Amino acid sequence: MMNYVQAPLPFQGQKRRFITPFKEALNGFQSKTTFVDLFGGSGLLSHTVKQAIPGAHVVYNDFDNYTQRLANIARTNAILDDLRVLLADYPADKKLSDQQRAKVLERLSKEMGFVDYITLSSSLLFSMNYATSFEELAKQTMYNVIRKSGYALAPEYLQGVDVVQMDYKELYRQYKDVQGVVFLVDPPYLSTDVSTYNKEDYWKLSDYLDVLQVVQHHSYFYFTSNKSEIIELCDWMEKNLGLDNPFREAVIKEVYAKLTPNSGYTDIMLYRQLV
């Protein structure tokens, strides 16, 4: 089984920066532990658990249909092959002319059935911009940033992992009474764009606070950033309101994410193992 250090296809918010500290932390868990990936995203956390602890029971919540994208890699590669031909003589990294843009859209309009617009976005849109449909893509300014080669097929990426698709609260209720269960909790970051997730608008404060009920009485891995200030909020509620702080005994690992030469933010992983 191939060991992935990043997801096979683009995904907003995948946890590749945390692979090393995540694997190190997994060393402390028993081989028969059940891990439930509530916000499965790209599946990178679930894949990593199964690699590190082959005997673990891993449940991956594919709420964003990532497995459908994986199943269509060959089709996505065929589209990218055609786009490379269309833009072969066009300068790399440059904004597409109206003529070239029309050719790209004409090619995509011929596709019937599922099209992975999120993956195609990384070859047609400015960095970190994504479209989830033909209509969204058609509204955007396009660039010739076509990937030079196709994506590798990934049939073994989620091998041995149980794939489900449901609201995280329902999945939590199904497993909350399993002895020794560990929840992997990687919700969309507070007040960030979640247009590529299967959720409307923004991840609000009330949504973010609801998730804390999951980690209150269980072993967990929880991912956030210094932008959310959720750790500070929980500290304040403990000190001033006497409420339980789910992060009080957690181990904290931080990774700095550089966005530009002068800006960035800190990604945070907290984990706790109850005995």
Of 35-49, 148-162, 235-249, the one with minimum mean pLDDT is: 235-249
Give me 83's structure tokens.
């786009």
pLDDT tens digits, one per residue of 3-21: 899 999 998 776 888 999 9
Supply the pLDDT for residue 188: 82
Structural domains in the chain, sorted by start: 16-65+165-272 (3.40.50), 68-138 (no CATH)
Amino acid identity, residue 64? D
Mind listing the pLDDT tens digit for each residue in 167-219? 999 999 999 999 999 999 998 866 444 454 454 555 677 888 888 888 888 99
Could you tell me the pLDDT band of residue 223, with boundaries at 50, 70 and 90?
Answer: very high
Write the single-letter amino acid at 54. P
pLDDT: which is higher, 11 or 258: 11
As a whole number of angstroms, the distance between CA 226 and CA 169 comes to 25
Which is nearest to 196 in space by CA: 141, 114, 128? 128
What gap in Å lies between CA 95 and CA 81, rounded to an integer? 19
Whether the predicted pLDDT of 33 surpasses 70: yes
Which tokens sit at 254?
């931080």
- Give the model's pLDDT for residue 198: 52
